[in-house]
């Protein structure tokens, strides 16, 4: 059984390079069966993570929450992230609606364990640490739980390649990820769909025991500053039959940011 | 108000005014208009009013003219049908008067950030401690107890330096000017008349506030899965001792307020376990003079968020090591020797229900509050809440047993 090398290619930024990129993608797709043969799920996820590395990220999130009856409520937040994956820090601050304006969440990710999270509530001028066992709770009435806001790091899970699949006609790898000991999670396992053409994550189904409880679809995948990014994420709470659509507006990577803006002191500044 | 404080506030206001146009990219605001109606089924001795209406308009601006500088300012305009708001149009900076100001500065702060240092100067909110219902180490947080059970916080004029390095944080506060908690008005239902005062008119004494400054320091450590702080405070208790004395006129009783000097040391900690988060907070209060009690307040609480529920329960205790004063006005101590609990349920992204209670361990006082809140659209929120107070007249909670009430409020946020 021979190992298959993942070919890292320059990302498309000009029409000519885009052409090259398509050829390489096609080549990669043709290699897919060998990858499965090698059962190298971890390598695929590693590559997928590698391709989304950025020094920083900023976007304005537009949240639309649809309940089982189809009612919509809108929220907006500004998200800033410094670093990538296991070592990143993130501040998320609500900008709309007016009554939750200023509410902020600080997430400090760790490579070897679950993240630390604090929430700042301006109405009572206090921060509160979000305990590990509380992370399965829905975040501010959305279908994202606190844990879903953490960045996944490749080293926190074990992987198994479940096979090939396709979503909307696009070829995918279907991979099962199981949290390692030390990575406390509400989910027993997750099934991840990764596109074969650009290694972008397309779907994650989170399971408790054998039941799918939350499904995250990555939609409208675009190349932003060389990083294939879903501009729309849709999280479905299967039990509640409700879903939240997050649209990434004004997305930028590698924006200059300072570490000082990602501390508990910083989130209490409005 | 001293000339020094006036100049400081004017300088900050000027700074804010200059910062606003300069920081078009980093200017944020939030505000609301809130109209609240409180209905009391029972009349109280000395106060026959059974319905009050409140209006509050709040606007806050936050500007960041430089990366290292932030300026925050907020004003409030209030109205009330039960004379709880001054009927004078003047800008109140200190929030130290008996009634709420009609036009007041809620906050006015400049924040400078340099590396691990954060310096806040101006009228600001400072919250210490981790517990939720009783917070013994929250020394720089006087409250508006005009209606006792629904007490908002008052900002204090202070300079605060916070140094954060890794998991360690040192917080030092200097408050040059004392801000007392606002007390219930003597002619209203939330002031309980002293025994034997029937037929006498209760009058407030002229308010003489302490002039000395206050200092405090708090060191916090944030560990992997736990956090704790230790703190010290040297200053004045923002809750006074109350002494009723016969006035020169035979039919008047004068209520004197005395704010004791205290020194306090405390600690608070939070430790998440597999099933719940355990929180504890305690403080030792030592009177600097012979006009106040020495005592210890402590709280142990557990909290758990599960599904749409946030559950919190605990015990607040008090140990009086030296009793000197028979009648302090002390809601913090009044909620001790009690089992406290709160449960809130988020129905959906717009609706929530909350139930909280405090029951004294001897059963002499009970407080239960239920609240239902619903948002409509992005700006409107209606809240209805009911409070039941019961118990004996010699208990802090029980003495307000005629003040059970129902409140309705409608808020428009902008």
* A-contacting residues in B 236-265 (Cβ below 8 Å): none
**Chain B closest-CA separation from residue A167 CA (Å):** 31
Q: What are the start-end ranges of the H helices in chain A?
A: 15-38, 41-50, 264-267
DSSP A145: B
Q: Residue A250: which region, alpha, beta or left (left: phi > 0; alpha: psi -120 to 50)? A: left
Residues 6+ apart with CB under 8 A from B208: none
DSSP symbols for A67-102: -TT--EEEEEEEEEEES-GGG-EEEEEEEESGGGTT
Q: Which of B32, B304, B349 sits opposite A141 (nearest CB)?
A: B349
Lowest mean pLDDT among A38-47, A259-268, B166-175, B379-388: A38-47
Mutation for testing the B interface, residue in A134, A182, A183, A250 having most B CBs under 10 Å: A134
pLDDT at residue A128 greater than cutoff 80? yes
Structure token digits, residue A227: 């990083």
Q: By percentage, how much of chain A surpasses pLDDT 70?
A: 85
Mean pLDDT calculated for residue range A145-152: 88
Q: What pLDDT is recorded for position B15?
A: 52
Rounded CA gap, B220 and B5, in Å? 30
Domains of chain A, with CATH numbers?
A: 15-53+154-246 (2.50.20.10), 56-151+252-267 (2.50.20.10)
Closest Cβ opposite residue A98 in set B222, B277, B414:
B414
Q: Do B413 and A99 touch (CB under 8 A)?
A: yes
Task: Kindly identify which residue of chain B lies nearest to residue A67, measuring between CA atoms.
Answer: B348
**Cα(A189)–Cα(A208) distance, integer angstroms:** 7
On chain A, the residues whose CB falls within 8 A of the CB of B116 are 260
Comparing A182 with A116, the larger pLDDT belongs to A116
Residues of A in contact with B113 (CB under 8 A): 260, 265-266, 269
Question: Across B24-81, where does the E strand assignment appear?
Answer: 27-39, 51-66, 69-80
CA distance readout (Å), B356 to B178, B256, B369, B385: 32, 33, 5, 11
Tell me which of B295 and A137 has the higher pLDDT.
B295
Pairing of strands B261-272, B241-246: unpaired
Q: Are A140 and B413 within 8 A, CB to CB? A: no
Whether residue A269 lies within 8 A of chain B, CB to CB, comes out as yes
Under 8 Å between Cβ of A216 and A233: yes
Higher confidence at residue B384 or residue A4? B384
Low-confidence residues of chain B: pLDDT under 50: 1, 21-24
Rounded Cα–Cα distance for residues A9 and A18 (Å): 11
Q: Residue B198: what pLDDT?
A: 75
Specify the pLDDT at position A38: 38
* CB contacts, 8 Å: B164 with chain A: 263-265
Average pLDDT over residues A184-190: 90
Contacts A93 to B, Cβ<8 Å: none
- For tokens 């994650």, name the residue: A204
Maximum distance among all alpha carbons in chain B?
65
Nearest alpha carbon to residue B281 among B340, B334, B231:
B231
pLDDT at A23: 46
| Token representation of residue B295 | 């005592």
Give the end-to-end CA distance of chain B in Å, rounded to a whole number: 32
Does the predicted TM-score (pTM) go above 0.90?
Answer: no
- For the record, the structure tokens of B240 come out as 């006074």
Cα angle B98, B337, B366 (rounded to 5 degrees) comes to 70
Instruction: Using CB atoms, pick whichever of A134, A141, A258 lies closest to residue B305.
Output: A134
Q: Which residue in B30, B349, B381 has the most chain A C-beta atoms within 10 A of its own C-beta, making it the best mutation to test that interface?
A: B349
B11 three-state secondary structure = helix
Residue B410: DSSP 8-state: E
B388: left (phi over 0), alpha (psi -120 to 50) or beta: beta
Residue ranges with strand state E in chain A: 56-66, 72-82, 89-96, 104-108, 116-121, 126-129, 157-167, 170-179, 189-195, 201-208, 211-224, 227-237, 242-253
Measured distance CA(A190)–CA(A235) in Å, rounded: 14
**Measuring CA to CA, how many Å separate A40 from each of A4, A9, A33, A52, A112?**
8, 19, 11, 19, 22
Residue A237 CA to chain centroid, in angstroms?
16
Nearest CB to B62 within list A75, A113, A270 = A270
Which one has a higher pLDDT value, B358 or A28? B358
């Amino acid at each position: 059984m021979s190992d298959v090398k993942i070919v890292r290619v320059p990302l498309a930024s000009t029409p000519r390079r885009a052409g090259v990129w398509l050829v390489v993608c096609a080549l990669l797709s043709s290699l897919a069966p060998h990858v499965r043969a090698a059962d190298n799920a971890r390598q695929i996820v590693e590559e997928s993570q590698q391709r989304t590395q950025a020094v920083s990220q900023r976007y304005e999130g537009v949240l639309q929450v649809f309940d089982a009856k189809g009612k919509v409520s809108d929220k907006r937040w500004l998200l800033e992230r410094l670093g990538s994956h296991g070592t990143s820090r993130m501040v998320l601050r609500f900008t709309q609606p007016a009554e939750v304006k200023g509410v902020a969440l600080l997430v400090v990710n760790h490579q070897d364990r679950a993240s630390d999270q604090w929430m700042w509530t301006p109405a009572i001028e206090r921060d509160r640490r979000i305990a590990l066992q509380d992370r399965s709770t829905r975040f501010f009435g959305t279908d994202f739980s606190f844990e879903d806001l953490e960045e996944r790091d490749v080293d926190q899970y074990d992987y198994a390649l479940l096979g090939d699949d396709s979503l909307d006609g696009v070829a995918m790898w279907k991979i099962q990820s199981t949290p390692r000991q030390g990575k406390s999670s509400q989910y027993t396992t997750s099934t991840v769909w990764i596109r074969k053409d650009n290694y972008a994550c397309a779907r994650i189904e989170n399971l408790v025991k054998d039941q799918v409880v939350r499904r995250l679809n990555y939609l409208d995948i675009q190349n932003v500053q060389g990083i294939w990014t879903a501009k729309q994420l849709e999280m479905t709470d299967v039990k509640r039959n409700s879903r939240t659509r997050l649209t990434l507006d004004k997305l930028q990577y590698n924006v200059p940011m300072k570490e000082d803006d990602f501390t508990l002191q910083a989130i209490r500044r409005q | 108000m001293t000339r020094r404080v006036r100049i400081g506030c004017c300088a900050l206001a000027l700074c804010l005014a200059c910062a606003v146009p300069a920081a078009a990219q980093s200017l944020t605001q939030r505000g609301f208009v809130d109209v609240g109606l409180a209905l009391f089924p029972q009349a109280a001795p000395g106060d026959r009013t059974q319905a009050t209406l409140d209006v509050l308009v709040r606007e806050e601006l936050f500007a960041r003219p430089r990366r290292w500088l932030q300026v925050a300012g907020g004003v409030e305009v209030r109205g009330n049908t039960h004379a709880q708001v001054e009927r004078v149009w003047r800008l109140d900076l200190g929030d130290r008067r008996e009634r709420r100001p009609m036009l007041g500065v809620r906050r006015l702060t400049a924040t400078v950030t340099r590396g691990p240092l954060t310096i806040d100067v101006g009228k600001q909110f400072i919250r210490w401690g981790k517990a939720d219902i009783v917070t013994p180490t929250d020394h720089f947080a006087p409250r508006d107890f005009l209606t006792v059970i629904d007490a908002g916080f008052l900002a204090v004029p202070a300079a605060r330096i916070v140094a954060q390095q890794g998991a360690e944080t040192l917080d030092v506060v200097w408050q040059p000017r004392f801000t007392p908690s606002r007390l219930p008005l003597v002619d209203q239902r939330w002031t309980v008349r002293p025994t034997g005062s029937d037929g006498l008119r209760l009058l407030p004494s002229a308010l003489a506030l302490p002039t000395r400054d206050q200092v405090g320091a708090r060191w916090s450590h944030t560990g992997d899965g736990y956090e704790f702080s230790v703190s010290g405070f040297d200053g004045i208790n923002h809750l006074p001792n109350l002494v009723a004395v016969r006035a020169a006129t035979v039919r008047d009783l004068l209520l004197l307020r005395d704010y004791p000097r205290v020194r306090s040391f405390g600690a608070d900690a939070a430790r998440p376990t597999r099933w719940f988060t355990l929180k504890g907070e305690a403080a030792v209060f030592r009177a600097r003079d012979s006009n106040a009690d020495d005592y210890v307040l402590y709280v142990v609480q557990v909290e758990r968020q599960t599904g749409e529920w946030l559950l919190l329960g605990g015990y607040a205790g008090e140990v009086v090591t030296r009793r000197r004063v028979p009648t302090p006005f002390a809601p913090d101590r009044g909620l001790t020797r009690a089992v406290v609990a709160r449960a809130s349920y988020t129905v959906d992204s717009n609706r929530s229900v909350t139930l909280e209670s405090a029951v004294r361990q001897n059963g002499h006082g009970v407080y239960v509050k239920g609240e239902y809140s619903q948002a409509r659209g992005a700006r409107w929120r209606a809240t209805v809440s009911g409070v039941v107070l019961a118990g004996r007249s010699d208990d802090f909670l029980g003495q307000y047993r005629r003040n059970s009430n129902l409140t309705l409020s409608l808020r428009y946020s902008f």
